[in-house]
Amino acid sequence: MMLFRKIEREKFISLLKVLIMGIGVASALVLFYIAISEFNTDNFYKDKDRTYQCFVDYKSPDWNFTGTHLMQPFIPALVDYFPEVEVGTVIFHNEDLNFEYNDNIIKANTLYADSFYFKVFNRKILARKSNDFLSHVNKAVVTKEFALKYFGDNESAVSKVIKLNGVRPIEITAVIENWPANSSQSSDVIISFETLKDEKRLYMGWGGGDSFQGYIKINKNTSAERIEKEIPNFITKYVDVKAEEAKGMFTKYLLIPITKADVTEKPVKKVILLIMIFIGVLIMGLVFFNTLLINLSASDKFHRTTSILRILGATNSDLQKNALLESLFFLIITAIVAYVFAWILNPLISVIFGYSFFELLLNPSYLWVAILSFLSIFLVNYLVQMFWISGFFSAKKTLVSRRKNNRFQKALLTLQIGISFSLLIFLYFIHAQLSFASSFDKGYNSDNLIYIELNNEPLYKNHTTIKDEIKNLKNVESVCLSNGVITQGLSGNGFYIDPAQENLKIFRQLAVDEDFFTTIGMNLQGKAFLPTEDKMSIIVNEEVGKIMNNPNPVGHYLYRGGAREIKAVVPDFIAGSIQSKMQPTVFVKYTEPSVYSTLSIRLSKNNQKEAIEEIEAAISRIVPDQYIQIRFYNADIDENYKFDRTVEKTISFFTLLAILITISGLVGFSINMVKKRSKEIGIRKVSGASSLSILLLLNRHFILNTLIALLLFIPLSYLLVVIWLENYAYAVNISPFVFIVASVLLILIVLIIVSLASLRYAQIDPVKTIRYE
């Protein structure tokens, strides 16, 4: 009963404390769960300790790279060579592909995998036609989600035929359970590797074509380190290693545990997830400091209440019991608020990251994180009161003890203000960097630019006819052909920069026709390719000239299969995103069509929808019954920053939430502080002090705490921003002006909050204040 009377008297502070604790804990737990789930990618496999992904660590004088791209024969040969390897599988990620079923177009994340795939990645088979479902050409396995969405149930999906790109018939031979959200294998359609071979669009020999990923599962009680050490001996059977090393190219093969492969391949992701954990810790710190601050600021009221209860006969045991009940009450209400807030957030988390926050309820190990978080909240409420009850902060203590209490409260307030400042600065630079990425000079003009991949034989064999037909359409400005798209990154090839062919350099390479640079919007210094001939001529970007130590290399030569004259130079450009530096690139003449043939088209600014319809109709006239997909360059560029924008939205939301928690705590502390000093305020007003002078007096200590917070946390803010921007090859400048503006803004916010909280007491009749006290 006493508990509810106390809460009734302190409704605002109690509500504020519960909201801060509940929302704060839920926010921190969401961030922890996202990061922990991502760090535990592929941790659910039964044989995870025996499963490894093969990486390549490549080093050359001009280009170093650690990645997962392998030559196709590497894994089968590795399995044959090492008896310690139980099984291996080769896959080829094709991302989103289009399928046709009953005249409907289905877009699905797709990969090609060999018949050993499910021996490495164990999945439950929900329906099947036979046991060898990935052994033959034009066969595929789909997930339960795909089967239910398009065929109604698992059994109905089996034996159905879907047409790849509207042409190749693919029979569904099995349905598997859905992939967990933290799986690196997330494809809805898995097509047999025999189909990829039949398409004849990728080189599958030992001489290159590093387009494949490989995984192995080793026998029990086998050392992956020993296998890794023996790979150099193994690879010499198939590759002339000495010749490669003589050219300055060194390749090392690594076996990375499957549970660590994801962050090894994407080191930037590891940094971002660590930042998310750090922000979660900061939010938990804010909650802890806020709750402690509100509790400590009510110490005088607690002492008066405790003194009255002792006069009325309450024992220490009674007081301790009441403190326990109060702390338990706040814990339960906090848990309810946290659950409701998590429930509200769950749709957002599911959309952004693909899994439900409430999966943590099924994760016993993660439950400990939640339990410890709530336990800390319970203890910060319970132990403060226990210290007071035992006399730790009681009225019997000297004035020095009270001063220590006040200094402790100010220190907590300073920490909260500093943390919020750091998060505010970090939030600004996240947004600024992504804005910078959007406006960064890519080296070409991606506006109104579309492309079509001619990856079916009837399409790429008619490449010139299709180009000629499209360039005559009224809403088309220009058209070109190439064997790739610069938004998706480019493959590399070796070129010699000396006639003796001793100095090999690895440059990016793209085959383009005579209209490419006009269509893409690259400034050409020199002569463009001719419509005919020019097979041995090349065009390079400025970065190649720097490597050649020749700022104007036009008329000079590179060597690959003979002397290749440089006809022109183009500015450096971004291939992919600004997380990677601009690469030295050689453009060769596009002559032979292939499955990589790509048509790029610059549309006029007006009537683009009409233009796209005309393009589709023109291609349909030339090559009937072929499905084509038109993509915008700008859409590809946005996709390159998809993860960055996801992080921006997530961190922005929780950073703003953390700032609101700090503001809430500042409001609660200000109200309690002013209440404690209400008698002093009354006496000052009787003595003639104005409301303005009282507001200045009350704000003075808060401004001092804010200045101390800035002094302590500006270096931390700077370090956090530096860590974030290191993920980008090109980043915004870290201007001192941003820190100055943020500091002034923070001081103004503190002044406004404290002034509003103090204004009522500064204007109240001093006689009433003194009489009440």
The mean pLDDT of 427-442, rounded to a whole number, is 86
Residue among 31, 166, 45, 192 at smallest CA distance from 99: 166
What single string gives the DSSP state of each residue in 578-623?
TTSPPPPEEEEE--S--TT-EEEEEEPSS-HHHHHHHHHHHHHHHS
- 77 falls in which pLDDT band (50, 70, 90)? very high
Cα torsion 723, 724, 728, 731 to 10°: value is -100
Q: Is the per-residue pLDDT at 400 higher than 60?
A: no
Q: Is the per-residue pLDDT at 426 higher than 80?
A: yes
The mean pLDDT of 305-320, rounded to a whole number, is 69
The mean pLDDT of 512-534, rounded to a whole number, is 90
User: Which of 202-216, 223-237, 491-505, 634-648: highest mean pLDDT?
Assistant: 223-237
Percent of the chain with pLDDT strictly greater than 70: 84
Under a CB-based contact definition with an 8 Å cutoff, are residues 751 and 671 in contact?
no
What local confidence, expressed as pLDDT, does residue 689 receive?
59
Helices 316-353, 364-389: inter-axial angle, 10-degree rounding: 150
User: Which of 584-588, 658-662, 706-710: highest mean pLDDT?
Assistant: 584-588
What local confidence, expressed as pLDDT, does residue 59 receive?
84
Q: Is the per-residue pLDDT at 688 higher than 70?
A: no
User: Which of 15-24, 56-65, 128-137, 298-307: highest mean pLDDT?
Assistant: 128-137
Q: Is the per-residue pLDDT at 676 higher than 80?
A: no
Q: Max alpha carbon distance in the chain (Å)?
A: 106
Q: Is the per-residue pLDDT at 363 higher than 70?
A: no
Residue among 349, 377, 460 at smallest CA distance from 38: 349
- 155 falls in which pLDDT band (50, 70, 90)? very high
Q: How far apart are CA 430 and CA 358, in angstroms?
A: 28
Under a CB-based contact definition with an 8 Å cutoff, are residues 511 and 534 in contact?
no
Q: Is the per-residue pLDDT at 519 higher than 90?
A: yes
Q: Is the per-residue pLDDT at 394 higher than 80?
A: no
Percent of the chain with pLDDT strictly greater than 90: 28
Under a CB-based contact definition with an 8 Å cutoff, are residues 93 and 101 in contact?
no
- Radius of gyration from C-alpha coordinates of the chain: 33
Helices 316-353, 299-311: inter-axial angle, 10-degree rounding: 140
**546 C-beta neighbours (distance < 10 Å), count:** 13
Under a CB-based contact definition with an 8 Å cutoff, are residues 480 and 520 in contact?
yes
Q: Is the per-residue pLDDT at 647 higher than 90?
A: no
Q: Share the mean pLDDT of the chain.
A: 82
Q: How far apart are CA 118 and CA 140, in angstroms?
A: 13
Q: How many CA atoms lie within 13 Å of 651's alpha carbon, on the beta-carbon side?
A: 29
- 283 falls in which pLDDT band (50, 70, 90)? confident
Report residue 142 as tokens: 């789909």
Torsion angles phi and psi, residue 306, rounded to 5: -65, -40
Report residue 308 as tokens: 């009255």
Contact partners, residue 454, CB within 8 Å, separation at least 6: 460, 463, 466, 593, 595, 597, 598, 599
Under a CB-based contact definition with an 8 Å cutoff, are residues 596 and 202 in contact?
no
Q: Is the per-residue pLDDT at 757 higher than 90?
A: no
Q: Is the per-residue pLDDT at 296 higher than 60?
A: yes
Beta-sheet strands, E only, within 168-258: 168-176, 189-192, 213-218, 250-257
What local confidence, expressed as pLDDT, does residue 395 receive?
46
Q: Is the per-residue pLDDT at 549 higher than 80?
A: yes
Q: How many CA atoms lie within 13 Å of 400's alpha carbon, on the beta-carbon side?
A: 0
3-state helix, strand, coil in the chain (%, to 5): 55, 20, 30
pLDDT digits (tens, 9 = 90+) for 689-733: 565 666 666 667 778 888 888 898 899 889 888 888 888 888 899
Which has the minimum average pLDDT: 192-201, 206-215, 434-443, 665-674? 665-674
Torsion angles phi and psi, residue 616, rounded to 5: -60, -40
Q: Is the per-residue pLDDT at 256 higher than 70?
A: yes
User: Which of 13-27, 375-389, 693-707: highest mean pLDDT?
Assistant: 13-27
Between 735 and 659, the higher pLDDT residue: 735
Between 386 and 361, the higher pLDDT residue: 386
What local confidence, expressed as pLDDT, does residue 686 receive?
57
Contact partners, residue 422, CB within 8 Å, separation at least 6: 282, 713, 716, 717, 720
- 602 falls in which pLDDT band (50, 70, 90)? very high
State the first-to-last Cα distance of the chain, in angstroms, to the nearest integer.
26
Q: Which pTM value belongs to this model?
A: 0.75
Each domain of the chain, given as residue ranges in start order, spans 62-247, 457-625
Under a CB-based contact definition with an 8 Å cutoff, are residues 307 and 423 in contact?
no
Q: How far apart are CA 176 and CA 190, in angstroms?
A: 10
Q: Is the per-residue pLDDT at 25 higher than 90?
A: no
Q: Is the per-residue pLDDT at 449 higher than 90?
A: yes
- 361 falls in which pLDDT band (50, 70, 90)? low
What local confidence, expressed as pLDDT, does residue 703 receive?
81
Burial of 130 (0-12, 13-18, 19+ CB in 10 A): exposed
Q: How far apart are CA 619 and CA 626, in angstroms?
A: 8
Q: Is the per-residue pLDDT at 153 higher than 80?
A: yes
| Strands 563-570 vs 538-541: parallel, antiparallel or unpaired | parallel
What local confidence, expressed as pLDDT, does residue 127 receive?
92
Between 640 and 141, the higher pLDDT residue: 141
Q: How far apart are CA 74 and CA 255, in angstroms?
A: 13
The mean pLDDT of 228-251, rounded to a whole number, is 87
Q: Is the per-residue pLDDT at 490 higher than 60?
A: yes
